[in-house]
A = this chain, B = another copy of it.
Amino acid sequence: MLKVGLLGAGRIGQVHAVNIAGHPGSTLVAVSDVNAEAAQALAAKYNAKAASSEEIIANPDIDAVLIATSTDTHSDLIEKATAAGKAVLCEKPVDLSLERAKACLAAVSKTAQPVMIGFNRRFDPNFGALRSAAHAGEIGKAELLSVTSFDPAPPPVSYIKVSGGLFRDMMIHDFDMANFIMDSAPVSVRAVGSSIVDPAIGEAGDVDTAVVTLTYADGRIAVIKNSRRAVYGYDQRVELLGSEGLLTAANMLENTVSKSTVAGVASAKPTYFFLERYMPAYAAEWDVFVTALAEGRPMPVTLEDGVAALAMAEAATKSAKTGEAVDLATF
């Protein structure tokens, strides 16, 4: 039974708490948060203890920590927890600074501790099935990947300002998805973006709509489309053209009801946002982490993966600013 400390009792921390407590191989023993009351409430619900993150990391009875704190604390907490001998599952992104993330990776590499980055979409059953089919050769050799990833509504501009920008905050998931499916890093990154959804986002120095093209050494190409606003819900699709066919992963819908009237046929929207869409993925992610630890197998998503996605985000940020293609090897 894996004894787990949860760092962060916010919205995503609460999701993880359900999975930690509900998993047959893990138990939630401690919760920390900058808001002591939040930590206290969440801990009580699961008969766990509230503590500081320092106490949790220092506690020799705790085997693993799940880091669900604000992004600016991730690298520090990963370093401290691994130094203290904990296994770590850390929410993405590793850091907003590629340099800092690389330093973290260097530090962690010196320990023997397993670290997994929470790219939850890798555990979505739809994307997982698409990747499995692709890697099994069901559509031959991959040639052209398309990732569509639209949020239902933009965050407040106050959040935009500290987010690191669309490429680091939002598209980083899609960079990881490209790496997950294409199984190698691209060589060049071309990005265009605009703030057509909300000019205030542009004034804050960010974009809200963007297209990134990735090229690979073997001639493959990938395209990622992002928008901060798709009023019909969370639009999360992947499509891969290969030499022998096409794989597509469509959205999950709220229900399967359709209504046919003189006005046409009406059916349900995609599930609203990541908590609805990826709830099963979070549970699967935790299961994979616990199982990999129990069986001594390597983590399925590594700190290296987190650094690689961040490098792509930095390259895209630069390309969108300069208007030029960016060689990923320079990052």
Q: Which of A52-60, A75-83, A215-223 lies at the interface?
A: A215-223
Q: Which residues of B contact A219 (CB under 8 A)?
A: 194-196, 209
CB contact under 8 A between A144 and B265, given known A125-B255, A230-B241: no
Q: Which residues of B contact A49 (CB under 8 A)?
A: none
Interface size on A, residues (CB 8 A): 73
User: 0/1 per residue, A316-331, Cβ < 8 Å to B?
Assistant: 0000000111000000
Q: Which of A105-113, A114-122, A243-251 lies at the interface?
A: A243-251
Question: Which residue of B192, B230, B257 is within 8 Å of A248 (Cβ)?
Answer: B257
Q: Are B232 and A265 in contact (CB under 8 A)?
A: yes
Most buried by B among A22, A193, A245, A262: A245
Bound-complex Cα distance A58 to B233 (A)? 50
Nearest B residue (CB) for A150 = B241
User: 0/1 per residue, A132-168, Cβ < 8 Å to B?
Assistant: 0100001101011010101000000000000000000
Q: Are B245 and A232 in contact (CB under 8 A)?
A: yes
Q: Which residues of B contact A193 (CB under 8 A)?
A: 221
Residues of A participating in the B interface, judged by any CB pair closer than 8 Å: 18, 22, 125-126, 129-130, 133, 138-139, 141, 143-144, 146, 148, 150, 188, 190, 192-197, 209-211, 213, 215, 218-221, 223, 225, 227, 229-233, 235, 241, 243-270, 323-325
Q: Which residues of B contact A221 (CB under 8 A)?
A: 192-194, 209-211
Q: Are A126 and B257 in contact (CB under 8 A)?
A: yes
